[in-house]
Chains A and B, each alone.
Chain A
């Protein structure tokens, strides 16, 4: 027997104190009576006493000493070794999307939890329980919990994810824990098949049964003059199958059209659905037969693209290339004026293009492009114009190859390397967050960001025609198209994702709040201080993105599918290897109800003192 907290024996110091108190409190009350004759005589009439009752006078003291002893021992927490009984358990529970497959009336995840719960319940007292779950992230949900009820309660709160997740994270976490506790016994609950020789220092408990699963993938729609056409692939992962795929428009319960699909096991079968409706909001494509994993049986496609009919004002003496570029990008409402005709209080345009001209103050109600600005702008622009840098021979612009953000990906879409040459540019510096698309030397020459009014802003630090071949280059129109897309963003650019993907939400001008509501009904608020805010999709189903823009509310919906990797209900995992030599050391036992004992004894001590005090009060 050992003691976890030997300092608990300091409580024994209370015993001498207790005895001292008893000596003091046991002082007999002296009193002179007329005669002690009858008292002495009464001795003869006392019943013959049990020897144990002779200690009645100090029974209270004895009980209290026992109480202190028990309390001291409780605090010191004795630990008894029970060989072959107590054990450290570490459970690894696969929380990937495929664990949502229903078999025998429960999901695999629930079955895994139930099995773990049974093991916890039947484990010897003193055992410890550690739980590692995989899913969106690999988490050690609990570590070395000794209380079974608490362990089962924490286990009950664990939920499966809807993302594609392997066990590699769990292997890493298990190895780390194994280094701390080589005596721990590992149990892996998963539906993934792992070769026996690829499992080390762990017991693999496969909880998958063979159940049918159908799925849809690569579903797209095309709007035609007469309607809409939906194309996609249907899968059956267990055996050949034949089922019906239906198309439901705008939330209708009745299929607009259906198609019979025959599929071979594991091989995608293409299908096409057509409907005479090209003004829809949403299209739901669903397999109309049920299977073990219903999450991948439907896909919802949305038509979120708004009609962007912004008016554009070009202030330039040479607007031709700019106008052509904008028209080619789909913007036809363009007005052109000379710089001398521009009035500072001009309003009502979605885009202001200032070419070789700089207004005294920034427009407040639309996006702004500066092309080779001729002077500095006020501080709301977020940049300052420097002196021109000139070259004798044209110099190629260098691209920013960093595509780490959605902004950069958008701006660099299909842009080629070293294709634009200039012989003069303006040295600009920024004091707001801008993304540089191209550099000359170390200076940015094409910048994209937003101004102080929340409107998007693009700066070209060179002239399109006179000092560069931008207008004649391949990249010119491409960059213009990308920048137009950047300037007039939709709230979201895509509507169909896989669970685990990142949703890019464009933070539009004057946007003060963006709320993302999950399929489960929970909602998150995302950052609106950036140009594009990113949000990880972790559930399967319909997400609603709602933005507050000025006084208006704009909502769009996106759909998150179950990742393809999680549809194959008989997935495999390479290995679950925990490296190192396990220890045979067993976990020590413990007293479960020490706290209750402590409380009971404390109550006895208090009650005893209360009785004593009451007696003393009565004798006063």
Chain B
């Protein structure tokens, strides 16, 4: 069932933040992000000797008076990026009392708003099974955000998720911004190919792993028959003892460590988020501390 997850107070706080893209990026003109190339922004970058044909308005006459040579001022170029947000809409994200789905949607909205505030384009996708369902496409500007963001409330969580199969064939752009994958990553299905693919396309990738409190610190004990919400053929039947809980914690550490390591190896950011944590805490503390936002 769709959930209403965005409120105005939160959005006004998000407005104060700014995404920190690791490399200067390519992209369309008119954005707020610094490009590797020199352009026409107000931010001074360097000098170079005048070459005939250069814009004479950029000549620094003060430098000419001192050195009796013509130097042209160079300014950084500012580009518009395209932020693409992928939400894992599988059953495991939305099952039961866990608030993973809510958290995922909130974060997606927050990232979208952040990008909109930076004059970037935003596209939001829901990944369910192998399909990529575009919820918002190329949204630009706050007005468009207000008009479009409600689409997130209509996301239905169900089925399995095959992130790679859904993302790789899609248009992901090239070197033009941030790709955020929000998922619990609790799957045997391949998601690494998606990260590779996005990294290969010079996208800045951020993997947000959302886990519920019960998944981070399970309370079940005794003889349990646990069924997988995505596939009833998958089950775990055991007398859950302290020893098994210890093994579970090791498995959790292994799984998160594996994703973190994979991301680090490809220059991608990774963040583990508890579904029950408040979003502002995640944004204003975690993401800032991790250097994803500033």
B169 within 8 A of A: no
> What separation, in Å, do the CA atoms of A56 and B227 have in the docked complex?
23
Contact A35 B248, CB 8 Å, known A28-B224, A28-B237, A40-B236? no
Pairwise interchain contact A38-B224, C-beta atoms closer than 8 A: no
> Contact string, B67-103, partner A, CB cutoff 8 A, digits 1/0?
0000000000000000000000001110110101000
Bound form: Cα–Cα A37–B187 in Å: 6
Q: In the bound complex, do residue B225 and residue A34 qualify as a contact, i.e. CB atoms below 8 Å apart?
A: no
Question: Do A31 and B227 touch across chains, with their CB atoms under 8 A apart?
Answer: yes
Cβ of B58 under 8 Å from chain A: no
A616 to B236 alpha-carbon distance, docked (Å): 19
Contact across chains for B215 and A30 when beta carbons are under 8 A apart: no
Could you tell me the distance between the alpha carbons of A46 and B244 in the complex, rounded to whole angstroms?
7
A45 to B251, CA, bound (A): 7
Contact, CB under 8 Å: A32 / B215: no
Q: Mask for A523-541, Cβ within 8 A of B = 1, else 0?
A: 0000000000000000000
Main SS of chain B's interface residues? Answer: mixed
Task: Give A29 to B236 CA distance when docked, in angstroms.
Answer: 11
Q: For the complex, is B66 an interface residue (Cβ under 8 Å from A)?
A: no
Least Cβ–Cβ distance between B210 and chain A, in angstroms = 10
Tell whether B63 is near chain A: CB-to-CB under 8 Å: no
Is A41's CB within 8 Å of the partner chain B? yes
Partner of A31, one of B100, B212, B224: B224
- B235 CB within 8 Å of chain A: yes
Q: Is there contact, CB below 8 Å, between B243 and A46?
A: yes
In the bound complex, CA of A57 to CA of B244 (Å): 13
Q: Mark A17-56, 1 if CB is under 8 A from B, else 0.
A: 0000000001111111111111111111111000000001
- A1 on interface, CB distance cutoff 8 Å: no
Contacting A36 at CB < 8 Å: which of B100, B226, B246? B226
The CA of A42 and the CA of B241, in the complex, are separated in Å by 12
A28 touching B228 in the complex, CB below 8 Å, given contacts A34-B100, A37-B188: no
Instruction: State whether B225 touches A37 (Cβ < 8 A).
Output: no
Contact with A along B202-240 (1 / 0, CB 8 A): 000000000010110000111111111110001111110
Most buried by B among A36, A39, A56, A619: A39
Contact yes or no, B186 A32, CB < 8 A: no
Known contacts A615-B221, A619-B222; is-contact A39 B95 (Cβ 8 Å): no
* Residues of A close to B230: CB separation below 8 A: 35
Query: Are A38 and B243 interface neighbours, CB within 8 A?
Result: no
Q: Which residues of A contact B215 (CB under 8 A)?
A: 34-35, 38
A306 interface contact, C-beta 8 A: no
Residue A402, interface by CB 8 Å: no
Number of interface residues of B (CB under 8 A): 41
> With the chains together, A613 CA to B212 CA distance in Å?
29
Assembled-state Cα–Cα distance A615/B250 (Å): 24
Say yes or no for B255: interface residue by CB 8 A criterion: yes
- Asked whether A226 is an interface residue with its Cβ less than 8 Å from the other chain, the reply is no
Identify the closest chain B residue to A30 (Cβ): B225
Query: Does chain B have a CB within 8 A of A393?
Result: no
Answer yes or no: B44 CB below 8 A from chain A CBs. Answer: no
B184 within 8 A of A: yes
Which of A30, A45, A616 has most B Cβ within 10 Å? A45
What are the residues of chain A within 8 A of B250 when measuring CB–CB?
42, 45
* Of A29, A35, A616, the contact of B186 (CB 8 Å cutoff): A35
A38:B186 contact, CB within 8 angstroms? yes
User: Which of A30, A36, A38: most chain B CB closer than 10 A?
Assistant: A38
A135 to B186: give the CA distance in the assembly, Å.
93
A187–B246 CA distance with the chains assembled, in angstroms? 70
Q: Is A520 an interface residue (CB 8 A)?
A: no
Q: Which residues of A contact B228 (CB under 8 A)?
A: 32-33, 35-37
List, in ascending order, chain A residues with CB within 8 A of B238's CB. Answer: 39
Contact: B252 with A28, CB < 8 Å? no
Shortest distance from the beta carbon of B215 to any chain A beta carbon, whole Å: 7
Q: Contact between B224 and A41 (Cβ–Cβ < 8 Å)?
A: no
B254 beta carbon closer than 8 Å to chain A: yes
Contact B248 A38 (CB under 8 A): yes
A498 to chain B, nearest CB (A): 83
Smallest Cβ distance from A232 to chain B, in angstroms?
93
Judging by beta carbons under 8 Å apart, are B222 and A29 in contact? yes
* Residues 245 to 263 of chain A near chain B (Cβ within 8 Å): none
Residues of the A chain whose Cβ atoms lie less than 8 Å from the Cβ of B188: 37
Determine if A618 is an interface residue (Cβ-Cβ < 8 Å).
Answer: yes
**A35 CB contacts on chain B under 8 angstroms:** 92, 184, 186-187, 215, 228-230
User: Are the CB atoms of A619 and B236 closer together than 8 Å?
Assistant: no
Whether a CB of chain A sits under 8 angstroms from the CB of B2 is no
Nearest CB to that of A49 among chain B residues? B243
Contact present for A34 and B96 (CB under 8 Å): yes
CA of A32 to CA of B224 in the docked complex: distance in angstroms?
10
- Does B252 contact A616, Cβ atoms closer than 8 Å? no
Q: Which of A34, A37, A43, A618 has the most CB of B within 10 A?
A: A34
Closest-CB distance, A411 to chain B (whole angstroms): 95
Q: Which residue of A lies closest to B236 (CB)?
A: A39
Q: A34-B92, A34-B95, A36-B226 are in contact. Are A42 and B244 (CB under 8 A)?
A: yes
A37 contacts B221, C-beta separation under 8 Å: no
B151 close to chain A: CB less than 8 A: no
Residues of B within 8 A of A32 (CB): 95-96, 226-229
Q: Are B243 and A33 in contact (CB under 8 A)?
A: no
Q: Is B226's CB under 8 angstroms from A41's CB?
A: no
Q: A42 touching B234 by the CB < 8 A rule?
A: no
Q: Who on chain A is nearest to B227 by CB?
A: A32
Given known contacts A34-B95, A37-B187, A615-B222, A57 and B229 CB-to-CB distance under 8 angstroms = no
Segment 252-291 of B: residues with Cβ below 8 Å from A: 252, 254-255
Taking CB atoms, residues of chain B closer than 8 Å to A26 are 223
Contact A39 B248 (CB under 8 A): yes
- Complex CA distance for A47 and B251, rounded to whole angstroms: 13
Given the complex of chains A and B, what is the CA–CA distance between A596 and B255 in angstroms? 53
Residues of A within 8 A of B243 (CB): 46-47
Q: Is there an interface contact between A33 and B239, defined as CB atoms closer than 8 Å?
A: no
Given A39-B248, A41-B255, residue A34 in contact with residue B224 (CB < 8 A): no
> In the bound complex, what is the Cα–Cα distance between A471 and B221 (angstroms)?
115
- Across the interface, which residues of B come within 8 angstroms of A619, CB to CB? 220-222
Contact (Cβ within 8 A) B229 A38 = no
B247 at the interface (CB under 8 A from A): yes
Shortest CB distance B62–A (Å): 65
Q: Give every chain B residue within 8 A of A33 (Cβ-Cβ).
A: 95-96, 214, 226-229
Q: State the Cβ distance, A453 to closest chain B Cβ, in Å.
A: 89
In the complex the two chains form, what is the Cα distance from A37 to B252 in whole Å?
A: 10
A375 to B: closest C-beta gap in Å: 104
Interface string of A579-620 (1 = CB under 8 A from B): 000000000000000000000000000000000000110110
Given contacts A42-B250, A619-B221, contact A57 B227 (CB under 8 A): no
Q: Is the CB of B222 within 8 A of A38?
A: no
Which A residues contact B (CB, under 8 angstroms)? 26-47, 56-57, 615-616, 618-619
A/B interface sample: 6 pairs, CB < 8 A: A28-B224, A34-B100, A36-B234, A37-B188, A44-B251, A619-B220
Other A-B pairs beyond A39-B236, A42-B248, A615-B222, 18, CB < 8 Å: A26-B223, A30-B227, A34-B91, A34-B229, A35-B184, A35-B187, A35-B215, A35-B228, A36-B227, A37-B186, A37-B188, A37-B228, A38-B251, A39-B248, A40-B236, A45-B250, A615-B221, A619-B221
